[in-house]
Chain A
């Protein structure tokens, strides 16, 4: 009986260990770029510019969420312009109301106010680490990719703000570039607790029973 219990707890611990190793081992980087669409939607609450659609037909695979990212956009006269991502090709405000776009947490600010710049957020990929995406947004963005097999990107500022996003620069296309670091890790504390609590409970129960058995053997 004791032998079976030991095997059971051993199995639980092994599963936990495998899960931990599995989570850290499954990471992926996806990149894509395209010409900026630069379609403007100005409402009383915001001024949103549609950058375009990327990651067409990208397989969601076993991954759970977008963990961190880089964004490189061509923009002028921007201060704290937010990057929203999701399913929103028709219109930004409608998609936001329907909870179909998510704030990536990235903010775009140009270095000067008199040039049309290529801005790296959070910095040059060769130097700066990628910026973490808030967990709910990371899950939402990946779910959107899994559901639609594409992602729409919007730059959003205050209503009537003066930032401009070009689609062309003379005869050249104005590009934007996105790199996601996605992972299979299950960061939600609830999931970890779900696995860890029964395992620890069974271990403690086993130890208590072991002690009781030892006591009984000594007494007898």
Chain B
């Protein structure tokens, strides 16, 4: 009877977990925010205090109060940006996840308040243009180390929010604008239309390993318990 209770409990937990998963779109966390546009010098050294590159703050993203309880396995981003035509391949700018309120990204990376992802936004990614365009990356893998760093950075914020930055080691002329003004000529006179830009960061996650272990181990324990309880009754007598 006890085994049945264990078994039921285990399956109930598993079902609950699956149900929670589906209610969170299969552990796909998505956050859309207005772009920030702040740009700072990046890859600074004492010899070159202005740095060789630049980093632009995309925005402050929020994935819920328990966002630091997950292992992140893949990430993608949709962002409006203007990139130089040379920003391709290993010179394409990449995404950095940083603690909320970061001012110096070089420092943040050094002290563990930021982590670099293998998620690049390239000039030749469709649509490529010498202008401000909306780019959407594919889902890229997040390593275990990066995932742990993301969770740790999330845990540093009371609301579990994180900043995403678009960083380049090589280029200053990168813009992630908060808004764009479009000049229109009406009856020969200029007028302006302003558009606020947004960005979406998507993180694919699984529950942290301890949670998975609990849900896997519980039914197994129940099964083992049942076997131990039933074995003496079914076991053959010792012929020796």
Question: Known interface pairs A31-B188, A162-B172. Does A115 touch B131 (Cβ–Cβ under 8 Å)?
Answer: no
B134 at the interface (CB under 8 A from A): yes
Q: Which of B84, B175, B188 contacts A116 (CB 8 A)?
A: B175
A12 at the interface (CB under 8 A from B): no
Distance of A167 Cα from B131 Cα, bound (Å): 5
A77 at the interface (CB under 8 A from B): yes
Question: Known interface pairs A39-B130, A116-B82, A169-B132. Does A177 touch B177 (Cβ–Cβ under 8 Å)?
Answer: no
Mark contacts of B3-21 with chain A using CB atoms, 8 A cut-off: 1 yes-contact digit, 0 otherwise: 0000000000000000000
Question: Closest residue to A162 on the B side, CB-wise?
Answer: B172
Question: Closest residue to B35 on the A side, CB-wise?
Answer: A114
Q: Is the interface of A mostly helix, strand, loop or mixed?
A: strand
Question: Known interface pairs A72-B190, A174-B131. Does A164 touch B174 (Cβ–Cβ under 8 Å)?
Answer: yes
Q: Which of A33, A115, A160, A175 contacts B177 (CB 8 A)?
A: A115
Cβ B183 vs Cβ A38 within 8 A: no
B129 to chain A: which residues have CB within 8 Å? 167-168
A138 at the interface (CB under 8 A from B): no
B184 to chain A: which residues have CB within 8 Å? 175
Sorting the interface of chain A by its residue count into under 10, 10 to 19, 20 to 34 or 35 or more gives 35 or more
Q: Which of A33, A37, A116, A120 contacts B180 (CB 8 A)?
A: A116
B179 at the interface (CB under 8 A from A): yes
Size of the chain B interface, CB-CB below 8 angstroms: 33
Q: Which of B175, B181, B190 contacts A77 (CB 8 A)?
A: B175
B236 at the interface (CB under 8 A from A): no
Question: Known interface pairs A72-B183, A162-B172. Does A114 touch B133 (Cβ–Cβ under 8 Å)?
Answer: no
Mark contacts of A27-41 with chain B using CB atoms, 8 A cut-off: 1 yes-contact digit, 0 otherwise: 000010100011110
From residue 158 to 213 of chain B, which have CB atoms closer than 8 A to chain A?
A: 172-175, 177-185, 188-190, 192, 195
Distance of A176 Cα from B184 Cα, bound (Å): 10
B54 to chain A: which residues have CB within 8 Å? 162
Cβ B133 vs Cβ A115 within 8 A: no
CB distance from B186 to the nearest CB of A (A): 12
Distance of A19 Cα from B174 Cα, bound (Å): 53
Distance of A120 Cα from B183 Cα, bound (Å): 11
A143 at the interface (CB under 8 A from B): no
B131 to chain A: which residues have CB within 8 Å? 38, 166-169, 174
B146 at the interface (CB under 8 A from A): no
A93 at the interface (CB under 8 A from B): no
Known: A114-B178, A168-B133, A175-B185. 15 other contacts (CB 8 A): A33-B185, A38-B130, A40-B173, A72-B190, A74-B181, A74-B182, A77-B175, A113-B39, A114-B36, A114-B177, A116-B175, A126-B189, A164-B175, A169-B132, A174-B182
Q: List 26 A-B contacts (CB under 8 A).
A: A33-B183, A33-B185, A72-B183, A76-B82, A76-B175, A77-B39, A113-B37, A114-B37, A114-B39, A115-B177, A116-B132, A117-B181, A118-B181, A118-B192, A126-B189, A160-B172, A161-B173, A162-B172, A164-B82, A166-B132, A166-B180, A168-B133, A170-B132, A175-B184, A175-B185, A176-B183
Q: Which 10 pairs across A and B sit closest by C-beta, in order of nearness?
A: A114-B37, A168-B131, A162-B172, A166-B131, A38-B130, A118-B181, A116-B177, A167-B130, A175-B183, A164-B175
